[in-house]
Structure formats: structure tokens, C-alpha cells
A and B are shown apart, each in its own frame.
Chain A
Amino acid sequence: MTLSDPAPDRLEHAYRKLLRWYPAAYRADREQEMLGTLCEMARPGQVRPTARERASLVHGAARAHLRGAGDGIRGATAAAAVPTAALVTGYLVALYVLLAFDGLGLTDAVHIESPWGHLALAVTTTLWGGVVVSVLRGRARSAKLLAAGAALTAPFLPVAGASWDAHITVAIGGLLLLLTPTTALQLGKRERLTAGLVAASIAPISVVFAILTTATSVPARSRHPFTMDLDLLALPIGMTVALVATTGLLLHRTGRRSLLTALLIVSATAYTLEPIHDLLPRGSFLAAAVLFRLLPDVALAAVAFTATTTALRHLRLRSFTRFTA
């Protein structure tokens, strides 16, 4: 083989083309190394990859994609589990706070008539408190058991503001945790610290938002159908705040501050528009409904989508770079 022999270049080019089947993040880490090994393994004078080499690389690439997707989904559910737990906690706390305000004329959104209602609320809250403690201690099985218990007791919760959202919130939260892979709930020491931080920031924020939205809707019933109450808004508000906070924590190290700022502005705008809409007199024309009702919803969906996909992509990248650490 002489220096002018074009064979190695052509072969290397062919290998490079085959390696493009691998995920980009994987390639960023492994491409040079694999290319070196492939060229070393090649027979002298070989000009193109053999059928076995092709098959092996395509198969390897498919497996790398599957592993990446698996890691991404596990990571995303793990990332969602903690905010969900925190959100439902915040929701239950808000329910208690609003109950304390009941009868003061501040809001008519929440009140409990029977002692059984109080009992059901206490049982569900206790179970959910157990879920949070279990998640933060990395006890996946007890977290799931308690989440199942909370979801089962949710239908017995008192009806708040003639709406079933309290039940749905707790039930969905419980179900989400049940569906989370056990391994995703077995958090490491550092992950638990991050989870604790996320939970500690989300729960109070969702409580404050829930109370604020209820307070600004006083007296709720007089302005139907454009009424705002805790039940309707606490879930999307908490969820979005949770997603933005999680994304913020994830993006902190990658330095993508501009995206985070944009997310915060959009979500803040969405929530500023909601109460304004609610303060409009009843029977406002359609344009107002579209502007104030639809716009925040679209903004919310956009924020949720961006935050989720960014978190997913980031987690997927990290799962690959972990190999080189």
C-alpha cells in the first residue's frame, strides 16, 4: 500500500457514512474511537465495508437508539414524578387553606358539609404525604402503594366548588406515579437533593397561585360562566410552573438562559391574562373570550411542550455523555 493509495480514504468515508446511523449524541462521544477501531480491523487493501460489518453497525445503531429512547422516557418520567408529587401536595395544602377561609366571605369555591368529607380529605392528604416522603427517600415501592391508596380514596373527597377537579387531580397524580418505572423512582443521593429542591419550590408556588386565583374570583358564582376557581386553574398552573422550574434546573448547567427567560415570560403572560379576563363583565363579546381564554391556553400548551421536549432532549444527551464520565 502506498501513500497515494485512495483505498483507506474511501473505506474511512464508507465507515463514517455507516456510523451516521447512530444517534448524534452517541456519535459525538464515540465516532472517532469507533472509526479508529474499524480502520484498524480492516484487512489491508480493503476498499468497502463487509456485509458483516454493515450488519453489525446498523444493528448496533438501532440498539443505541432504543437505549437512548428508553433512557429518555425513564428520565422524563423520573423528572415528572417529583413535580407531580409536589403539585398534588400543593393542591391539597391549598384546599386546606381555602377551607380555613370558608365562611369569611372571601370565596365560595371550597366548603365541606359532612364530617365524612373532612375525614376523606385527611386520609387522602396523609396518604399523599407518605408518597412525597417515599419519593424523597428513594422508596419506590411504598411510593407506588401509597399513590394507589391516594388515587383510590380520591373519589371520596368532598366536592369542591361543584367540580370534580380535586378528585381528578389526586387520581391523575396517583396514576402517574403508578405508571412511573420503579427504577426511575429510586433516586440517587444527588437526584434526591434536586428532587427536594424542585418539590420545595413547586409546592409553595402552586399553593400561592391556587389561593390567588381563587381570591381574585370572589364571588365566583356571580360571574358564571366566566368564573375562575381553584379547581379549574390549580392543575394547569401548578403543572406549568412545575415544568418550567424543572426545565430551569436542567438548563442551568447548559447555559440556555434565553429559552428559560422566554418560557417564564410566556407563562407569566398567560396567568396575567386569565384574571383580567375574569374581571371583565359577564357576557363579554366573543373576541374577548378568544383573546383571554384561548390565548393563555395556547401559550400554556406551547410552554408545556417546549419544556417537556427540552427536558427530554437534555436528559437523553446526558445519558450518553455519562458513559464518558
Chain B
Amino acid sequence: MPIPLREPTFFILTALTTEPLHGYGIVRTVAELSGDRVRLQAGTLYGALDRLKEDGWIELDREDVVDGRLRRYYRLTDTGAGVLASETVRLRANADAATAGLRARAARGGSGGFGPAPGLA
């Protein structure tokens, strides 16, 4: 799995930080976390789960049968949590750099900057 993580991968790992989830649970949580922006399709979801499992970032937690349907719950491994942690550090550093740049731009009096719009202050 390449780093930087692709957005669906990032959100799947994030979804599994709180509790083990099954396929549909992951889809729902990812939609919530991303403000309904990332809507996983089944093919994409299972492709990602295969690779994450192969890399040892997630693992099978338990199996349930609900209404005659097989549910497999996946949990985040310590390796996966470590990858997600370093990814958040990277993303935060990126965001910080952008924020600092925008702040400096606003301080110079540029328009449409980070701070409150001129005239409102």
C-alpha cells in the first residue's frame, strides 16, 4: 500500500480506529467521516480490504450471521494504527505549512486570505 494513502484507504483505516466494523458498517462510517463525500462501492471496498489485510494493517475480528447473511468484522492492527498515525502527522504538517503561508499572505494585505475578510475586522 503506497504512502501517501489514497483517500478511501485513509478513511477506511480511520473508520476502524474506534471499533471493529463489517463491510456495510465501514461504508456508512466512511461516508459520515468524510461528510458524505467518499461513498465506497463494494468493488472498491473489498479491493481495499484485500490489500489492507495482506499488508497486515487490518485483520479479521469475528464473523456473524445476521438474517442469513455473512458479516465479517475487521479491526485495525497495531501496524495499521502506526501507519495511520504517521499519515496524520504528514497531513498535519502539510496543513500547517499551507496555513502559515495563507496567514502570511493575509498579513501582507492580500485578498481572500486565511484571516477574516478585510473590512470585517
**A residues neighboring B (CB under 8 Å):** 30, 32-41, 52-53, 55-61, 63-64, 67, 322-324
Contact = CB atoms under 8 A, between A and B. Distances in A.
Nearest to B22: A37
A56 B70 contact: no
**Helix, strand, loop or mixed for chain A's interface?**
helix
How big is the B interface, by class? 20 to 34
A302 to B, nearest CB: 35
Given A33-B72, A35-B69, A323-B53, A60 B44 contact: yes
A40 B21 CA distance: 14
28 contacts: A32-B70, A33-B71, A33-B72, A34-B46, A36-B66, A36-B69, A36-B70, A37-B27, A37-B45, A39-B69, A40-B24, A40-B69, A41-B27, A41-B42, A53-B41, A55-B43, A56-B41, A56-B42, A56-B43, A57-B42, A57-B43, A58-B43, A60-B46, A63-B47, A64-B47, A322-B54, A323-B54, A324-B60
B70 A53 contact: no
Interface in B29-64: 41-47, 50, 53-54, 60
A36 B66 CA distance: 9
Contacts of A56: 41-44
A39 B42 CA distance: 10
Contacts of A55: 41, 43
B110 interface: no
**Helix, strand, loop or mixed for chain B's interface?**
helix
A52 to B, nearest CB: 6
Contacts of B22: 37
A197 B116 CA distance: 72
Nearest to A12: B69
Given A60-B44, A64-B47, 13 more contacts: A32-B70, A34-B46, A36-B24, A37-B27, A40-B69, A41-B24, A55-B43, A56-B43, A59-B47, A60-B46, A60-B47, A63-B47, A64-B50
B23 A40 contact: yes
Contacts of A323: 50, 53-54
Contacts of B72: 33
A208 B27 CA distance: 61
A30 B71 contact: no
A61 B43 contact: yes
A268 B100 CA distance: 77
B120 to A, nearest CB: 42
A60 B42 contact: yes
Contacts of B43: 53, 55-61
Give the 6 A-B residue pairs with the shortest CB-CB distance, closest first. Answer: A60-B43, A56-B41, A56-B43, A37-B23, A36-B69, A40-B24
